[in-house]
Structure 1
Amino acid sequence: MAVRREGTITDVKGIRAAGVACGIKPDGRKDLALIVSKVPGPCAGTFTTNYVKAAPVILTMRRVREQGVAQAIVANSGNANCCTGERGLKDAREMAKVTAEALGIPERLVLVCSTGRIGKPLPMARIRKGIKEAVKALSEGGGLEAAEAITTTDTRPKHGSVTIRLPGGRATIGAICKGAGMIHPNMATMLCFVATDAELSRALLQKALSEAVSLTFNRISVDGDRSTNDTVLLLSNGLSGTEPIRGRGEAGFSKFKGALT
């Protein structure tokens, strides 16, 4: 297993990303991230256990659990789109719609996340423009910019990748993450986006992710506060060319889960 601490989500074959500033954060820092896979594939997720869930969490949780397939993640920072009522749900759906139209993919394949201040509506005119800019900026080297764009109070962007040997070749897992405060067991105010070019079923992805999160993020406590927006997402596109992992009893599954953790 080869770990790259300076690696990122775009180390994964077929993944492009971008991070842009669209004006949500008043200081001009990057605040909108986009991650896109060359092909759709199975997805898995874990989400906040807070009774109050932000609009994008409600939308994305439903898509992960009901359809389990995705191709893109769009995320903004600086505004949580939480406690915003029906307008918040409408805005989350519109983020997915604008992203899908700009990419030329079905809207149902777009997952949406937000992080930041609670209780304020999203500045949708800025976000619409930012999404279109992010689509134009997509690149195989854009993972670090995407990692920067999801930060809030973080002192630095968080990212990394790992490569493992599987039957048929090598596969990569890459990730970006944010979170500094309001971290309490069962994730908290954190977003983590993970992609892999290994090929696994939706059920195996969810099994691996749930077990990895239980051993990592769900054991962290910083200040005892639990957020409304925590989300960890895992996408698989199977583009590594390695043999598919078909069962929990396979050595490949143990390797994958160990690397993910």
Structure 2
Amino acid sequence: MISLADRHRIILEKIKEEGKVSVLDLCDMLDVSSVTIRKDLKQLEDKNLLFRVHGGATLNNPYTMDRPVNVKEKLQTEEKNKIGVAASALIEVNDSIIIASGTTVMALARHIKTKESLTVITSAIQVAEVLLQNPEIDVLMLGGLLRRSSSSVMGPYAEDILKDFFCSKLFVGVDGIDLENGLTTTNVLEAHLNRQMMNVSNKTIVLADSSKFGKRGFGKICDIDEIDQIITDDGVSPHTVEQLEAKGVKVIIV
């Protein structure tokens, strides 16, 4: 039988090679029970050598933290800009759309150059400010509790306003995309609002750079198979794209 020290060494070597390991794979590789593997993973996590997740472990911290919008907008700027361009190409004449909050959907707002009628509902103050510069765009700003870190509104009042509308597309940003745990954000009230936005939209399009994959926030928005499309950058792994498409999600890579 393989010793405890050797098991730990093998687990760490595998997770360094692949970035993530599953309990079932480790059971087969090491010929031990799932109880033993879970104990091993807990011991390694206690030593800060990995992070346990559902069904296995990962090398990268899967938990996201809330950061101010002025900090987020400086991260992955090139990727977000390309995603915004690709998303703007999906907007059609006479569309009625919802743009949620976040720096990636903000990139979308900057690239909307329509010369035709367009109605946009948004929870984000900065998105509304950008869109107001185009006279062809009618902007409906939701009201509610102002979330300072994202400069956007949330809460039951914003959700109630949405019940009076139905839109063709929702463009939403997220803090985490996990194939098992779905789409999440760091704030549960924002997650509830995003959910209501989905309920009144014909199609849900997620805008997220590749750093969001494998991450998770406190508030769950929905499961993966409840969305229609994801626009992301080429940093996403081909295996992840295959799994998304297997769940019926169209993936656009920029």
Q: Same fold (TM over 0.5)?
A: no
TM-score, normalising length: structure 1: 0.29
- Answer with 1 or 2: which has the greater Rg: 2
Counting helix residues as a fraction of each chain, which structure ranks higher?
A: 2
Question: Relative contact order (alpha carbons < 8 A, sep ≥ 6): 1 or 2 greater?
Answer: 1
TM-score, normalising length: structure 2: 0.30
